[in-house]
Structure 1
Amino acid sequence: MPTASTHGISTFKGEQRASRGDRIGAPALLLSVLAATAPLMVVAGVIPTAFGTAGVVGVPLLFVIVGVLLALFGVGYAEMSRHVHNAGALYACVSRGLGGTMGAGASYVALFAYGAMQIGTYGIFGFEMSGQVFQHWHLAVAWWIPALGGVVVTAVFGALKIGLNARTLGVLLAVETLLTLVLDVSFLGDAGPQGVSAHAFDPGTLGGAGLGSALCFVTAGFVGFEQAPVYAEETRDPRRAVSRVTFLAIGFATVFFAFSSWAITVATGPAHVVGRSREQSANLVFALDRGRLGGAFTDTLHVFLVTGIFASMLGFHNVVARYAFAMGRDGLLPAAIGRTSKSSGAPAVGSLLQSGVALVVVALFALTDHGAFGPRGPDPTAPVLRLFTWAGGVGALGVLLLMATAAVAVIAFFVKRGAAAVQGWRLAASGLAAVGLLAVLVCSVKDFAVLLGADPGHGLRWALPGTVALAAVTGLAHGAVLRARRPQVHAGIGQGNEAFQLEKAAAASEAAE
C-alpha cells in the first residue's frame, strides 16, 4: 500500500482521498486554465456565432462588461480559494457557505454544465477536422468520425500526469495566441469599408432581442478562468497561486477577446459584421484573413484551430474528471469514482466516466443528425450550430448559476465566521457579482430561443435550459436524502480530504483511549 509523501498525499485507490499534491506550479496552472478558454476557438467560432446569432454589434463591449463583472466575482472567489482547497472548487465553495444540501445541488450542476461544454467542443472539432481532410485530401469524412477519435485521444491524455498536460497545453496556447494577434493586427491594418471604427464599443449597439443570447455566448468565452481552484490540491503554494491565476485569466480573456472581436468589426465594418457572420459563421475569420495574409497563413490558422479545440477539450475533460473525483470522495457519486491512478495521480475513474459519457452522446447525436445514415444525408452545420452551440449555451447557463450561487456562498462563509467587517469590501464585490450574474442568467434564459435559432414557442426553448434546473433539483434531492439517512456523509460534502483527515484523527483518538 502506498504511503504518504512529504506533502501528506497518497492517492492510489483513494486511500487519502486527495489529488496528488505539489505537481504543478503557478505558470503551469495558468497555462492549463487559459488553454481551457481556447482563445482561437473563441475568436473563430464563438465570436462570429455571437455576432450572427444574436445580431448584436456590441460584442466587444459585452466582453468588457462581463469581464468587469467576473472580476468582481473573482474578488470573493479568490479569497475563498485561500480557505478551500478542493477539486470540487465551485461546489465546495457553495457547500462551505450554504451547507451540504446546497453543495450537493451545485455539484450536480457543475458536473452537468462542464460536461456539456466539453462534449459540445467535439462537434466543432469534428466539423473542422472533416473540413480539413476534404480540403487537403479530397476525402469526404463524416464529422462524427474525427469527433469520436477526439474522445479517445482526450481520454488518453486525461489519464496522464497533469504536468505533462500543462506543458502540452502551454505550447499550443502560445502559438495560437500569437497567430490570433497577427490576425487581429492584419484586420486593423487593412480595415473594412468604415475604417478603424470604435462603434462596437458604443452602448447603443447593445439593443435588440438577442442581447441575452449574446451575453450567453460571451460568458461561454470566459468559462475556464474559474477552474484554477479545481487544481488547488495539486498546486504548489495554492494559497497564492490560485488567486493570482484567477485574476490573470480574467484579465487576459477580457482584453484578448474584446480586442479580437473589435478587430473583426473593423475588418468587416460595424454595419456589416452581423450580416457577414450570418453568411459565413465559423468561416468568417478565415475568409477575412485569406485576402490579407494569404492562403498559407490561413491554412496554418486552421491547423492551430484544431489544436486549440483539442486543448479546450482536454482542459474541460480534466475539470470534469476532478469534479467527478471530488463527488465520489464526498459520497455524492459511487466511491470508486473518488479514486486516482497509482502512476499518474490523475482521477482515472472520473476521467473514464467523462470519456464514456462523451462517446455515447456524440454517437447518439450522429445517429439522430437529420438522417445522418438515411437518404437525405447529414446536415453539415449540425455539429457547430447544434451540438457545439446548444451544448455550449446550456453549459454557460449552468456555470452562470454556479457562480451566482458561489458569490452568495462567499458572503455566508465569512459572515458565519465573524469576518464580515474584515472582508467587507470583498463581500460587497461578491454581492454585486451575484446580482449581476443572476441578471445575465435571466437575460440568457429569456433569449435562449434566439441562440437556438428557433421560434419562441419551440419546445427546446425551455427544455434545454430546463436540463440545468433538473441537474440542480437532482443534486438538492440527493443532498436532502443524505442529510436524513447519512448525516455523517452529508456533513462531509465539500470538505474533501480535510474530512477524511478528521475521520482518521478521530479514529486514532478512539484507538488511543
Structure 2
Amino acid sequence: MSEQLAGTLARRRLGVVHLFFFVVAASAPLTVLGGGVTTMFAVTGSKGIPLSFLVIALILGIFAVGYAAMSRHVANAGAFYSYIAQGIGRPAGVGGSFVALMTYNTIQIGLYGLFGFIIGDFMNTKFSVDQPWWVWALLGWVLIGILGMLRVDLNASVLAVLLILEIIATAVFDIVGVGNPADGSGVSLAGFDPGNLFTSGLGAVFAFAIAAFTGFESGAIYSEEVKDPRHTVARATFFAVLFTGIFYAISAWAMTVVVGPDNVQQAATEAGPGVVFGTLAQYTNNTIADIATVLFFTSVFAALLSFHNGVARYFFALGRERVLPQFLGRTSRRTMAPIAGSIAQSVIAIVVLIFFIIADRDPVIDLFTWLSGVSAVGVVLLMAATSASVVGYFRVRRGDESAWQGRVAPAIATILLTALLVTLVANFNYLLTPDTPSYLRWVLPGLIALAAIAGILWGAVLKSSRPDVYEGIGRTVGQPLTADESGSESDYVPVH
C-alpha cells in the first residue's frame, strides 16, 4: 500500500446498520438503565423521568434535522469541528474541536471507572476473585486499545453483538417490570404525567437525561467511511434518536411500575443497579439476572469502544489538517484505522487512570461521575454551536434543503440546546455526590470553557502564523474549490 494511503481512512465500509450500532452503543442502553436511570430517580425523586426522555428525544430530533442536512454536504471525520468551522468560522471550529476532544476523552475515561468497579464487584461476589477495580479497568484499556487499531467494520461487528444482547436484556426487564406492577395495583402511567415532570426538580432531571443521550450525535465522525455519505449519517442519526428515546422512556417507566411510583426513589437509592438485576432475579431466575449483570459491563465496554473510535477520528482529522501535530493524521496501512489517534487516546486514558489510582479516588463517585458531568456539558455546547453553524452554512451556500431543514429547525434547536446548556451548568451540582467539594460544580464544567477558549486562541494563532494550515481547517475531504461556492475563496465545495 502506498504511503499516501497511510493517511487515509477506509472508504465505503459502513452502512446504516453499522453506523446505528456505533451510535447506539455509545449511548449504552443497559448502562443508562442500570446506572443512569436509577441515579436519576435516587437524586431527583421525580416520577416524570420516563417523559423526560421523550422530551429530550424531541429536542434532539429537531437538532438532527439540520445536523443531517449538513452531513450531506460536509464529509470529515472531525464532524462537529468541520461543521462549526464551515458554518461559523475557522477559529470557532478549532474551539469546537478542542471541546470535542475534552468531551469524548472524559466520557471514555470515566467509563473505565464504572467498568472496573462493576466487573470487580461481580467477580468478587460470584467467584471470590478479589482484585482492585483498576486491575479490571486496565484489562479493559488493553482490549480497547487493540480493537481501536483494527478495521472499523470489525469494531462495528463487535459492537453489534454486544448491543443486541444488551437490548434483549433490557427488553426482558421492561416486559417483567410492566407485567408485575407493585402490590398488584395495576399498571401506573404516572411516569408519563406532565405534572410529575414539570416541577421544581425539572432542571436536574433534564441534566441527567441529556447525559444519557451522550454519543447519539457521533454518526458524522464516520462520514468518510460510510457507503453513502449523503444518506447514511442522516438515517442512522434519526433511527438512533427515535430508538433510544422510546427505549429509555419505556425502561424508566417499567421501573416505576415494578416498584411503584411512590417507592421508586427509595428503591433506587438503596439498591442502585440492583433494582434492575434484583427484579430479574425475583421474576425470572438468578441465571438470567447474572447474564444481565454480565451484559451490563459488556454494555459499558461497548460504549468505551465506541467513544475510543470517535476520539481517534477527531485526532486523525486534526492531525491530517495540521491543526495538531501531523503524525496524528496517520492511519494503519493494513487496517486503515486511525492508529496514531487511537494510540494517543489510549495514552491520555492511561495517564488519567494512573492519576486517579495513585490519588486513591473512588472509581464511580469520582472518576465516572466527575468526567461524565464534564462530557454532558461539552456535548450540549457542541450541539448548540453545530445547530448555529447549520444556519450560517446554508445562509451563504446553495443546496436543495428546505427552509425547515436549513434554517428553521436548526434555529429552534440552537435556542432549545442553549437553554439546556444553561440548565445543565446551573444544576451541575446535582450530577455530583453530596460529599464532593463544592468548588468542583464550577471547576469541572469550567474545563469545557477553557478548552473552547484555548481552541479559539489557537485558531487565531494559526491564522497569523500558518495561513496555509488555517485555510484548510474543517474542509470537506477530497473536494476542490469551485467558483460557484458562495463566500470566500477558501470555502470548500460540499459533497454531492
Which stretch of structure 1 is more off in the superposition, 213-222 or 412-421?
A: 412-421
Q: Residues of 2 paired with 1:490 and 1:344: CA distance? A: 30
* CA drift at 1:210: 4.2
Distance in 1, Cα, partners of 2:134 & 2:394:
48
Aligned match of 1:359: 350
1:172 and 1:308 in contact (8 A); partners too? yes
Q: Which residue of 2 aligns with 1:373?
A: none
Q: Determine whether 1:497 maps to 2:488.
A: no
Cα 1:100–1:432 shift into 2, 3 Å: same
Matched residue, 1:275: 266
CA distance in 1: counterparts of 2:457 and 2:374, whole angstroms: 21
| Offset of residue 286 of structure 1 | 1.3
Q: Which residue of 1 aligns with 2:414?
A: 434
Partner of 2:207: 216
Residue deviations 1:85-130 (CA, integer Å, cap 9, x gap): 1100111111110111000000000011011111111111101110
- Distance of 1:369 and 1:438 partners within structure 2: 36
- CA distance in 1 between counterparts of 2:119 and 2:401 reads 54
State the 1:458 CA deviation: 1.2
- TM-score, with length taken from structure 1: 0.90
Q: Distance in 1 between matches of 2:202 and 2:458?
A: 35
Aligned equivalents of 2:258, 2:355: Cα separation in 1: 39
- The answer to whether the aligner puts 1:102 opposite 2:82 as a matched pair is no
- The CA deviation at 1:292 is 1.2
Match of 2:365 among 385, 392, 412: 385
Please state whether the residue corresponding to 1:11 is helix, strand or coil.
Answer: helix
Q: Percent identity?
A: 41
Secondary structure of 1:234 counterpart? coil
In 2 relative to 1, CA 448–139 (structure 1 residues): closer, same or farther, beyond 3 Å?
same
Match status 1:482 vs 2:468: no
Residue number in structure 1 paired with 2:2: 2
Task: Decide whether the 8 Å contact of 1:130 with 1:143 is kept in 2.
Answer: yes
- Return the match for 2:115 from 121, 125, 140: 125
Contact 2:394 2:406 in 1 (8 A): no
Matching residue within 78, 91, 103 for 1:88: 78
User: How much has 1:33 moved relative to structure 2?
Assistant: 1.7
One-letter amino acid of the structure 2 residue matched with residue 267 of structure 1: V
Residues 86 and 232, structure 1, Cα contact 8 Å, conserved in 2: yes
* Aligned position for 1:251: 242
1:195 to 174, 182, 186: 186
Q: Are the counterparts in 2 of residues 76 and 410 from structure 1 also a CA contact under 8 Å?
A: yes
Determine the structure 1 residue equivalent to 2:492: none
In structure 1, the partner of 2:424 is: 444
Judging changes above 3 Å, is the alpha-carbon distance between structure 1 residues 139 and 209 closer, same or farther for their aligned structure 2 residues?
farther
- Whether the aligned pair in 2 keeps the contact of 1:212 and 1:445 (CA below 8 Å) is no
Q: For 1:259 and 1:219, how far apart are their aligned partners in 2?
A: 16
Residue 502 of structure 1: CA displacement? 6.3
Q: How does 1:141-160 map to 2 (within 5 A)?
A: 141-160=131-150
Distance 1:491 1:473 in 2: 20
- Please, what TM-score do these two structures have when normalized by structure 2? 0.93
Q: CA deviation at 1:212?
A: 2.6
* Partner of residue 44, structure 2: 54
Q: Is the counterpart of residue 412 in structure 1 residue 402 in structure 2?
A: no
1:135 Cα deviation from its structure 2 partner: 1.3
Residues 394 and 287 of structure 1, relative CA distance in 2, 3 Å threshold: same
TM-aligned CA deviation for residue 213 of structure 1 = 2.9
Aligned-pair CA distance for 1:420: 9.9
Give 2:166's aligned residue: 176
Tell me if structure 2 keeps the 8 A contact 1:329–1:496. no
Counterpart selection for 1:262 from 253, 260, 279: 253
Deviation at 1:457, TM superposition (A): 8.3
Superposed displacement of residue 163, structure 1: 0.8
How has the CA–CA distance of structure 1 residues 29 and 456 changed in structure 2, closer, same or farther, with 3 Å as cutoff? closer
Query: 1:285 — aligned with what?
Result: 276
| C-alpha contact 1:407 1:433 (8 A) present in aligned 2 | yes
Of 31-40 and 349-358, deviating more is 31-40
**What is the distance in 2 between the residues matched to 1:359 and 1:423?**
47
Whether the aligned pair in 2 keeps the contact of 1:81 and 1:239 (CA below 8 Å) is yes
Alpha-carbon displacement from aligned partner over 1:6-26 (angstroms, at most 9, x marks no partner)? xxxx531x2xxx312112222
- Looking at structure 1, the residues matched to 298 and 399 of structure 2 have their Cα atoms a distance apart, in angstroms, of 45
CA 1:122–1:208 in structure 2 vs 1: closer, same or farther (change >3 Å)? farther
* Alpha-carbon distance in 2 for matches of 1:304, 1:63: 23
Structure 1's 208 and 65: CA in aligned 2 closer, same or farther, altered over 3 A?
A: same
> Can you list the C-alpha shifts for 1:321-371, whole angstroms capped at 9, x where unaligned?
00111111122210000111111000001000111111111121122225x
Structure 2 CA distance for partners of 1:388 and 1:211, relative to 1, 3 Å: farther
Structure 2 residue matching 1:85: 3-state secondary structure: coil
CA contact (8 A) 2:391 2:407 kept: yes
Could you tell me which residue of structure 2 aligns to residue 240 of structure 1?
Answer: 231
Matches within 5 A, 1:448-467: 448-454=428-434, 458-467=438-447
How far does residue 282 in structure 1 lie from its aligned partner after superposition?
2.7
Query: Relative to 1, partners in 2 of residues 1:206 and 1:400: Cα closer, same or farther, differing over 3 Å?
Result: same
Measured at CA, do residues 282 and 209 of structure 1 come closer, stay the same or move farther in structure 2, by a change above 3 Å?
farther
* Cα distance change on mapping 1:56 and 1:232 into 2, 3 Å: same
Unmatched segments (≥5 aa) in structure 1? 4-9, 371-381, 507-513
CA change 1:416–1:455 in 2 (3 A) is: farther
Say if 2:35 is the partner of 1:45: yes
- Residue 214 of structure 1 deviates from its aligned partner by 2.3
**Deviation at residue 138 of structure 1 after TM alignment:** 1.0
Report the counterpart of residue 375 of structure 1 in structure 2: none
- The DSSP-based 3-state class of the residue aligned with 2:438 is coil
Give unpaired runs (5+ residues) of structure 2. 483-488, 490-496
Which residue does the alignment assign to 1:376?
Answer: none
Shift of 1:246: 0.8
Deviations 1:177-229 (A, max 9, x none): 11110111001111113531111111222255543332222112212221111
- AA at the equivalent of 1:393: G
The residue number in structure 1 matching 2:5 is 11
Q: Aligned Cα RMSD in Å?
A: 2.0
